[in-house]
Structure 1
Amino acid sequence: MGAGFAGVECVRRLERRLSPAEAEISLVTPFSYQLYLPLLPQVASGVLTPQSVAVSLRRSSKHRTRIIPGGAIGVDPKAKVCVIRKITGETVDQSYDLLVLAPGSVTRSFDIPGLEEHARGMKTLAEAAYLRDHVIAQLDLADASQDEAERTARLQFVVVGGGYAGTETAACLQRLTRHAASRYPRLDPDRIKWHLVDLAPKLMPELGDKLGKAALDILQSRGIEVSLGVSVGEVDAEKVTLTDGRVLPSRTLIWTAGVAASPLVGTLDTETRKGRLVVRPDLTVPGVDGVFALGDAAAVPDLATGGDALCPPTAQHAMRQGRAVAESVIATLRGQTPRPYVHKDLGLVVDLGGKDAVSKPLGIELRGLPAQAVARGYHWSALRTNVAKTRVLTNWLLNAVAGDDFVRTGFLDQRPATLREFEHTDAYLTPEQVREHTAALHARG
């Protein structure tokens, strides 16, 4: 279940290590591509095309795996049945012998007035494409407006979340609007304001104090106002009210305040920790037969750190957990003992657009062009196909030579841009509904 970093790595290794006589492999995913999520801010800012970060599953596999185009909305581990809603809306039941759950995560939201209606996410390819259109539309509308209050609100953008997604999104889109301003004769570039808001006391604490401060200095030097220890109290169509009492006239709230495990994990009715499925060190789910979980949906013990530490929900861990689960599946099929998952974090990279970046590979702190080279080199090497690598590299070179473009495609122009609309968080069944569904299935024979 799931074609993110964890699921795809698992499938690729299973295809290589298992013969067709040993197992049939099915992959449930609504899209026939793996989204390279760390580069999504560059899609939103137009540096990369959407196709560049959508790595085709048909190219990256050996064509043995059956791809089921849909999403799992429930699992009954006793009946060993997954309930799948196909992209047509049809609900089908898929039995299994061994199940690998890698459904990933959804944007974490809170009970903030107006948030569900007015916040825009950055978790899917569609959200990134929509957000780019929306930001450029605000410039278009502000340039054409005769109303100074409307112009102010359209030129003020608020990003919530000081982690990687929020920081990179704010940095990349601020760079886009700064360059775009010269193409609008009636816009004063100094009136375009970007705010980055986070409840935490530090920006990206995972980087450490020095690099976190360096990233903060870069953002502030580019005119991005960073507010720490503050969150959003209320949102409506024309303003964002912060918990410190400030009211920001704005037509754009980008919500990247963390992630939560896919609602699919709640359908199993098993133990969770911080909303993620509890798993053993070998990534099996206790109390159920033949189920493995990994990636953002699983609370994987971090054996390299020790204690009660959990592996962070990063692409680095997800990819390695995918390979580890594949080996555990193979060991189970062959009557062997699965091995525990152990991986020491190799470092972090943060691309802030242009020549700006901070990185910490293998504990070495870098900033500026060396950090940018490491960040882009890491992302480029992690892409799964030569086609994807060629597209990304070509896009980077074209952007470096020709600069940004400001074309608005009109994507979902008249549709609501809510988190629920894009991430389908209301599609999942409850454990009781899953059991009723499978019971009815058995009654029908």
Structure 2
Amino acid sequence: MTRPRILVVGAGFAGVECVRRLERRLSPGEAELTLVTPFAYQLYLPLLPQVASGVLTPQSIALSLRRSKKYRTRIIPGGAIGVDLASKVCVVRTITDQIVNERYDYLVLAPGSVTRTFDIPGLVDNAFGMKTLAEAAYIRDHVISQLDLADASQDPAERAARLQFVVVGGGYAGTETAACLQRLTHAAVKRYPRLDPSLIKWHLIDIAPKLMPELGDKLGRSAQEILRRRGIEISLGVSIEKAGPTEVTFTDGRVVPTRTLIWTAGVVASPLIATLGAETVRGRLAVNAEMNLPGHDGVFALGDAAAVPDRAKGGDAVCPPTAQHAMRQGKVVADNVIATLRGQALRPYEHKDLGLVVDLGGKDAVSKPLGIELHGLPAQAVARGYHWSALRTGVAKTRVLTNWTLNAIAGDDFVRTGFQARRPAKLKDFEYTDTYLTPEQVREQAEASVPREG
């Protein structure tokens, strides 16, 4: 008999936790497991700012999916660009641009999210994102190259512009990115005797009235004081009106000459979700507490791309798009897929947040584990301890701990690795959000070719 096909889309926290649990709890003859992902690694996203700042190497937070000798899931190197629920077909664009149809009996959608952008003139053409490993590595090269180019320039105006940096987004990603990269430039400028350190200016802006409001007023103010003490200019209630290659205009009328605009103003569900033609909640797929898509017994969705009811909060609340929830949802979905396969009852997802951690680099951090407010070294110990323990493999834990230790003792060499090419790569070049199909195109693709057998 043909084994049932379980297809998992996405190798983030949710998808990998689901696949690993399925491998452990299903016998090889019980089902065929397939994972669709462009890269055969799980990215530990919360540590991206430390890659951008050079504290960690890119490899240390890219956890290989092929290290385990027990690994038996077939990996399709590509991205899902459409799903036809009626035909039970997932359309995949491989990394070589080949379009293939993958049949499934059970589908787990964990495609994650993409950077949320708005219709701001020049934004996608001139801003950098901080969502992928390539972007983090590229931004590090770019920031160091601005110091190199400013040092070589004979034009005072150009020099000043290259030494101004703008980060949009006062959430965790934006705050940590600004904090970590400011430390990088503060340390690096000492190696450039021709540059005036006072010319280096970092701007952190957000349309919201508070920085990281989830932390509460006290810790939020503490984080702001730390950043301002370092010289980072924080502007709240402000966003970008337009972005150009050499300057950025804020909504309050200010014009900042800069060659560096980093956009971290939130995320939205993967465009894959729109191809299903199913009900959504603010762009995320509407699922029940068991993370099952209503009307489709074998289809589950979780993580950033799904509006999973937050039973701990009640009402209409949905789980926030955090790694903490995604990892735990992955395990529950795996159990529910197995339960569906075996004709057993499903269980709902319920989890209370354990707290929040924000690493501001060096000895600075703010954390709120189990509701306890911390800052300084205790908060830093909690933040790094949490991230270290959440890394999935012993190899990754060893690499990260070694990187942290080496950086603390020896500092940074401020080496560029060559990503800064003559043609810069910006937001639109990294996330490929224009590759997805419409629901009509998905149906045509599913009907036009014979689905590929496993």
Quickly name the TM-score band, shorter chain normalised.
over 0.9
Q: CA deviation at 1:288?
A: 2.9
Aligned to 1:266, what secondary structure does the other structure show? helix
Number of the residue aligned with 1:292? 300
The amino acid that maps onto 2:305 is A
1:202 alignment partner, one of 177, 197, 210: 210
- C-alpha change, 1:444 and 1:307, in structure 2 (3 Å) is closer
State the match for 2:102 in structure 1.
94
The question of whether the paired residues in 1 share the 8 Å contact of 2:129 and 2:135 is answered with yes
Deviates more, 1:402-411 or 1:122-131: 402-411
Kindly tell me: are residues 187 and 97 of structure 1, through their superposed partners in 2, closer, same or farther at Cα, counting changes over 3 Å?
same
* Residue equivalent to 1:130: 138
**Aligned counterpart, 1:49:** 57
Q: Distance in 2 between matches of 1:232 and 1:287?
A: 42
8 A contact 1:77–1:289 mirrored in 2: no
Alpha-carbon contact 1:60-1:385 (below 8 Å) kept = no
Q: Is the 8 A contact 2:103 2:452 kept in 1?
A: no
Partner of 1:254: 262
Task: Answer whether contact 2:55 2:403 (CA < 8 A) is retained.
Answer: yes
CA 1:156–1:61: 2 relative to 1, 3 Å: farther
- After the TM superposition, which residues 235-246 of structure 1 pair with which residues of structure 2 at under 5 Å, given as runs? 235-246=243-254
**Matched residue of 2:442: which SS?**
helix
Provide Cα deviations, 1:249-277, integer angstroms capped at 9, x if missing partner. Answer: 11100000000100000110000011100
Q: In the alignment, what sits opposite 2:5?
A: none
CA distance in 2 between counterparts of 1:54 and 1:188 reads 37
Identity of aligned residues (%): 78
For the residues of structure 2 that align with 1:258 and 1:99, how far apart are their CA atoms?
A: 27
Q: Is 2:449 the partner of 1:441?
A: yes
User: Quick one: distance in 1 between partners of 2:442 and 2:113?
Assistant: 20
CA–CA distance in structure 2, aligned partners of residues 87 and 416 of structure 1:
22
After superposition, the Cα gap between the structure-2 partners of 1:275 and 1:142, relative to the gap in structure 1 and judged at 3 Å, is same
Q: What amino acid does structure 2 have at the position aligned with 1:239?
A: E
Q: Given the alignment of the two structures, is residue 377 of structure 1 paired with residue 385 of structure 2, yes or no?
A: yes
- AA partner of residue 408 (structure 1): R
Distance in 2 between residues matched to 1:347 and 1:273, nearest whole Å: 25
* Cα distance in structure 2, aligned partners of 1:151 and 1:342: 53
After superposition, the CA RMSD in angstroms is 1.3
Unpaired segments of 5 or more residues in structure 1?
A: none
CA distance in 1, matches of 2:240, 2:429: 21
Which residue is equivalent to 2:344? 336
1:397 and 1:231, CA in 2 relative to 1: closer, same or farther beyond 3 A? same
For 1:21-420, what aligned pairs fall within 5 Å after superposition? 21-60=29-68, 62-411=70-419, 413-420=421-428
Q: Deviations over 1:47-85 (max 9, x none)?
A: 000000000001257221111111101100100001111
SS of equivalent residue, structure 2 residue 430: helix
**TM-score normalized by the length of structure 2:** 0.97
Residues in 2 aligned to 1:92 and 1:47: alpha-carbon distance in whole angstroms: 39
Report if the CA contact (8 A) 2:115-2:131 is conserved: yes
Amino acid at match of 2:278: T
Q: Which residue of structure 1 lines up, in the alignment, with residue 4 of structure 2?
A: none
User: Are the structure 2 counterparts of residues 232 and 443 from structure 1 closer, same or farther at C-alpha, using a change threshold of 3 Å?
Assistant: closer
State the distance in 2 between where 1:199 and 1:150 align.
28
Change in CA separation of 1:60 and 1:243 when aligned onto 2, cut-off 3 Å: farther
1:290 is displaced (CA, Å) by 1.5
Amino acid of the residue matched to residue 91 of structure 1?
A: I
- Shift in Å, 1:439: 1.4
TM-score, normalised by the number of residues in structure 1: 0.98
Question: Cα gap change, 1:78/1:61 in structure 2, threshold over 3 Å: closer, same or farther?
Answer: farther
Letter of the 1:333 partner, please give it: L
List per-residue Cα deviations over 1:355-388 (Å, max 9, x = no partner): 0000000000000000000000000011111111
Partner letter of residue 304 of structure 1? A
Q: How far apart are the structure 1 equivalents of 2:187 and 2:161?
A: 19
Q: Note the alpha carbon deviations across 1:230-287, whole angstroms, 9 max, x for none.
A: 0000110111100000111111000000001000001100000111000000000123
Q: Distance in 2 between matches of 1:214 and 1:302?
A: 29
Q: Which amino acid aligns with 1:313?
A: P
Give the aligned partner of residue 4 of structure 1.
12
* Counterpart code for 2:363: K
CA contact (8 A) 2:128 2:263 kept: yes
Q: CA deviation at 1:412?
A: 5.1
* Cα shift at 1:442: 5.0
| Partner of residue 24 from structure 2, selected from 16, 41, 46 | 16
Whole-angstrom CA distance in 1 between matches of 2:229 and 2:424: 34
**1:339, 1:185 → 2: CA distance?**
63
CA distance in 2, matches of 1:288, 1:414: 49
CA distance in 2 between partners of 1:73 and 1:61 (Å): 30
Aligned-residue offset at 1:289? 4.1
Task: List structure 1 segments (4+ residues) > 6 angstroms apart after TM superposition.
Answer: none
- Unpaired segments ≥5 residues, structure 2: 1-8
| Conservation of the 8 A alpha-carbon contact between 1:12 and 1:61 | no
User: Does structure 2 retain, via aligned residues, the 8 Å contact 1:239–1:251?
Assistant: yes
8 Å contact kept, 1:79–1:438: yes
Distance 2:226 2:69 in 1: 40
Give the counterpart letter for 2:354 in structure 1.
Answer: L
Q: Is the Cα–Cα contact under 8 Å of residues 77 and 95 in structure 2 kept in the other structure?
A: yes
